[in-house]
Structure 1
Amino acid sequence: MTSAVSNPQKPADWLGSLKLLAGVTLLVALSWEIIAGDHVHLSTTYLTIQFFVCVIFLYDFLLRLMQAEHRGRFFVRHLFYLLISIPYLTLISWTGIRMTHDWGILVGLIPMLRAFLAMFIIVGWMVRGNRLQWIFAAYLFTVVVFTYLSALVFYDYEVLVNPKLEGFGNALWWAWMNVTTVGAEIFPVTAVGKVVCVLLPSLGMMFFPIFTTYVLQEYAAKPSSDSATDSATATAADLTQSSGTKNS
């Protein structure tokens, strides 16, 4: 009976680890494509990696669909996961339509949403049981990943037209300065760069209350054990003195 109950969980755990590995692989491939690419054409290696990663995501969706008790309800509720798991770049390349590098990067970010959700497994492994710590860990994970992706997109769109952007290090510094709402001396000149420049500080301001709440909750002044002992001793002494006064 024990093996019959535990065996169905093993494929799910194995597939979750596979999705996590696929998400990290896709992030590394996208980083290499943008940082080391020519910013004009998408490499065959990147297109191949994205295709196989999307196949893993689609397999996960179909497997959970077949195991669902109400498949129609499951399909409707998880339709968004299906849509962001489709290898759009591969399908477009099969049709023979030529896509510019700029649009290719934007379309390639769609499976990154699915990879981002898969990488939330890391957050679940980091924090278990404590809801506030889980929210704070999810906050840090979201800010770090979104800021890094924003730096990649900003660098890819701005590097050929922005004279102040000298390398990816500058783009990463620009992204972190904007998510902290401090700002940087590098100003976007493309439409996509301007959109990212607005989204970053908005994300920072939206998540800052979570950081403040966590700090206040975890590091607020708490009575030490010595103080509690002294307080208990003083209370006992007061009670003894009061009792002695009544007896006299």
Structure 2
Amino acid sequence: MSLTQSARAGIRDALGVVKLIAGLVLLVALSWEIIAGDHVHVSRTYLAIQFVVCLVFLCDFFVRWAAAERPGRFFWRNLPFLLLSVPYLNILAWSGVDMTHDWGVLVGLIPLLRAFLAMVIIVRWLVSENRMRRLFFAYIFTVVIFTYISGLVFYDYEVLVNPKLHGFGNALWWAWMNVTTVGAEIFPVTAVGKVFCVLLPSLGMMFFPIFTTYVLQEYTHKKGE
């Protein structure tokens, strides 16, 4: 028996809330793993949390696939979400692959990207029907989360080798200074740190035109009232 549109919408909204909670749990777990971890080994607690969160994402995919009006179309359009939901880190750990903590953090970011996409969709859904306003708040959310994650990754890779980095607070300050294109006196020494040093200003430069357009639109709208 096919589901009605209202039933599909209810399932989608309920799963959206579950994905949001799972994504926040994963982000907190990653933060704790990096800030309080030894930067050498991936803890079993983090592996367990990531596995559970990935199961939530996989269940979300298959439930929505089963409830889709066009299952074939849904599958191919949402295949990237399925691939991002696979617990690669757990699979590598179970396979006995000798993986460093640094690589574990990068692989662990894959399901976090899935959670991030779910959060962006929910943020856009919560905002008003104004298209520009939805885009603006979704982009604000993107900048904040990406900057925070960049600070985490930068801290994890640089803390043991960069003499200018003293604590996670410095890493977070470095990330925000770079996303605002101001720059910081902490220079990355690892390849991953250098990559994020390029990505953050690029994200910041993309944000300013959207911010300007949003402000002009709001000003024009209020002036016309």
Match of 1:89 in 2: 89
TM-score, normalized by length of structure 2? Answer: 0.93
SS in 2 for 1:84: helix
- Once residues 224 and 15 of structure 1 are traced to their aligned partners in structure 2, the CA distance between those partners, rounded to angstroms, is 40
> Higher mean Cα deviation, 9-18 or 144-153?
9-18
- The Cα RMSD (Å) is 1.8
Match of 1:132 in 2: 132
Q: Rg larger in 1 or in 2?
A: 1
Q: Is the 1:20–1:121 Cα contact (8 Å) retained in structure 2?
A: no
SS in 2 for 1:109: helix
Identity %: 71
- Once residues 215 and 224 of structure 2 are traced to their aligned partners in structure 1, the CA distance between those partners, rounded to angstroms, is 18
1:40 alignment partner AA: V
Per the TM alignment, residue 45 of structure 1 is displaced from its structure 2 partner at its CA by 0.7
Match of 1:180 in 2: 180
Q: Is the 1:150–1:196 Cα contact (8 Å) retained in structure 2?
A: yes
Q: Given the superposition, is the C-alpha separation of residues 107 and 223 from structure 1 closer, same or farther in structure 2, using an over 3 Å criterion? A: closer
Counterparts of 1:163-242 in structure 2, within 5 Å, are 163-219=163-219
Match of 1:59 in 2: 59
Per the TM alignment, residue 71 of structure 1 is displaced from its structure 2 partner at its CA by 2.6
Per the TM alignment, residue 55 of structure 1 is displaced from its structure 2 partner at its CA by 0.3
Q: Is the 1:165–1:171 Cα contact (8 Å) retained in structure 2?
A: yes
Q: Unaligned stretches of 5+ in structure 1?
A: 226-248
- Once residues 11 and 143 of structure 2 are traced to their aligned partners in structure 1, the CA distance between those partners, rounded to angstroms, is 31
Match of 2:154 in 1: 154
Match of 1:239 in 2: none
Q: Is the 2:151–2:168 Cα contact (8 Å) retained in structure 1?
A: yes
- Once residues 224 and 16 of structure 2 are traced to their aligned partners in structure 1, the CA distance between those partners, rounded to angstroms, is 43
- Once residues 32 and 126 of structure 1 are traced to their aligned partners in structure 2, the CA distance between those partners, rounded to angstroms, is 28
Match of 2:48 in 1: 48
Provide Cα deviations, 1:41-73, integer angstroms capped at 9, x if missing partner: 011111000000000100111112222233333
Q: Is the 2:154–2:171 Cα contact (8 Å) retained in structure 1?
A: yes
Q: Unaligned stretches of 5+ in structure 2?
A: none
Q: Given the superposition, is the C-alpha separation of residues 222 and 87 from structure 1 closer, same or farther in structure 2, using an over 3 Å criterion? A: closer
Provide Cα deviations, 1:148-169, integer angstroms capped at 9, x if missing partner: 0000000000000000000110
How many correspondences in the alignment?
Answer: 222
Q: Is the 2:152–2:168 Cα contact (8 Å) retained in structure 1?
A: yes
> Higher mean Cα deviation, 138-147 or 61-70?
61-70
Provide Cα deviations, 1:13-35, integer angstroms capped at 9, x if missing partner: 22111111000100000011001
- Once residues 56 and 143 of structure 1 are traced to their aligned partners in structure 2, the CA distance between those partners, rounded to angstroms, is 25
SS in 2 for 1:91: helix
Q: Is the 1:51–1:87 Cα contact (8 Å) retained in structure 2?
A: yes
1:59 alignment partner AA: C
TM-score, normalized by length of structure 1? Answer: 0.84
